[in-house]
A = this chain, B = another copy of it.
């Protein structure tokens, strides 16, 4: 299963990012959709990468230099995350003079982030509300001790 992911054809192993933008990286076409989707989510499953995509959702293109300043990361660390984002075809790199600029490969990437935010708001709303009610229910009434109240329902 994870072995399947490792089978991705990398046709462009030794082509520099800025000459490779958007090139077919994964032989996704023949795989079941849920595998391809899971793979997409893997690409998004790291705070740094989400952060980068959020920055790129706000400004059309951003240089690595700026990303470094924004995130305070070590260059090679950021670079590896950018590499992951590229492999997943989520961003595109372009070299201008001595700097490299990144942008979202598709505006739909921003949509995905925005929909995920909506979902998170829902989740946090409800869970926080539950936290509050769990904590507040034994309001001024007697509460045996500082033990965490069991869920009642």
Contact = CB atoms under 8 A, between A and B. Distances in A.
Interface of A: 1, 11-12, 15, 19-20, 22-26, 28-29, 32-38, 40-42, 44-51, 54, 89, 105-106, 108-109, 111-113, 115-120, 122-124, 126-128, 130-131, 134, 148, 150-151, 153
Given A34-B51, A120-B37, A151-B23, A29 B113 contact: no
A90 to B, nearest CB: 8
Nearest to A150: B15
Interface of A is mostly: helix
A41 B50 contact: yes
**Nearest 8 CB-CB pairings of A with B:** A24-B127, A41-B44, A41-B45, A108-B119, A34-B50, A38-B47, A42-B45, A24-B131
A123 B151 contact: no
B151 A19 contact: yes
Given A15-B150, A23-B127, 7 more contacts: A11-B134, A22-B130, A23-B130, A24-B127, A41-B50, A44-B45, A89-B126
A118 B36 CA distance: 12
A148 B11 contact: yes
Most buried by B among A22, A124, A127, A153: A127
